[in-house]
Amino acid sequence: MKKPYLFSPSILSADFTQLGDQIKQAEEAGADWFHIDIMDGHFVPNISMGPFIVEACKRTTDLPLDVHLMIEKPEVYLEDFVNAGAGVLTVHIETCPEMDITLQNIHNLGCKAGITFKPATEVNKIKPYLNDVDLVLVMSVNPGFSGQSFMPEVVPKIRQIRNILDEINPDALIEVDGGINSKTIRQTFDQGAEIFVAASAIFNHPLGIQKGLQSLRDMLP
């Protein structure tokens, strides 16, 4: 039976001295995918990780690796990330002047393709490409850091995108990313989000990773 929703813990808040163990704990707690945030210090102010870490995750888990590219010129690095083990590559509309070609290139590499956008970007900007994606990542914080507060003003965009997808690409999934915790997750689910990214709510939960994931699951039907 198809699960009605998926959890994609973001390793950005994991303890990197114990990354393999933290991934295993999240897997045992019921993670479905792992979200890996790639930041270049240009498109976003922070620098995080590269294909090397994706490759290390691939050796640790068989779950799909959901790679969020917050980098300029993502088209230059697509093959590196697919070779490192990415199962989904999500690119920002703000960094892809030829989005149709970039999405095609991701698919040609045998990878699922996602599109995303900053909270200030209008849905109309991504609309021309919604037919060509496997997922749409709705950012509910400004990209760059974990542990930021959820931006409730993006919630209507989830329903807006779901309505468009239902017409033209009903199999595409909506993922939500940023500030997802036990207080914010339900409103995103109610508007049509199906994949939930969370870094701090899972990896920084005071009672541990298992309880962190459980606290999110408890808020969903």
List residues with catalytic annotation.
37, 177
Residues in 186-215 at the binding interface with ligand DX5, rule: CB under 6 A: 197-201
Residue with tokens 């088209």: 75
Least distance to Zn ion from the beta carbon of 6, Å? 14
Is 1 or 201 the residue whose CB approaches ligand DX5 more closely?
Answer: 201
User: Rounded to the nearest whole angstrom, what is the least distance from the CB of residue 186 to Zn ion in the complex?
Assistant: 20
**Span of 21-29, 83-91, 136-144, 208-216 interacting with ligand DX5 by CB under 6 A:** 136-144
Token pair for 12? 């950005």
Residues 127-136 as b/e (b if ≥16 CB within 10 A, e otherwise) read eebbebbbbb
177 contributes a contact to Zn ion by CB under 5 A: yes
Which residue type is seen at 91?
V
Nearest to 197 by CA among 137, 109, 122: 137
Q: Could you say whether residue 26 binds ligand DX5 (CB under 6 A)?
A: no
* Subset of residues 143 to 182 that bind ligand DX5, contact rule: CB under 6 A: 143-144, 146-148, 177-180
Single out the residue of 12, 106, 135, 185 in contact with ligand DX5 (rule: CB under 6 A): 12
C-alpha of 115 from chain center: 10
Q: Is 57 helix (H, G, I), strand (E, B) or coil?
A: helix
Phi, psi of 195 (to 5 degrees): -125, 130
- Residue ranges that bind ligand DX5, judged by CB under 6 A: 10, 12-13, 35, 37, 68, 141, 143-144, 146-148, 177-180, 197-201
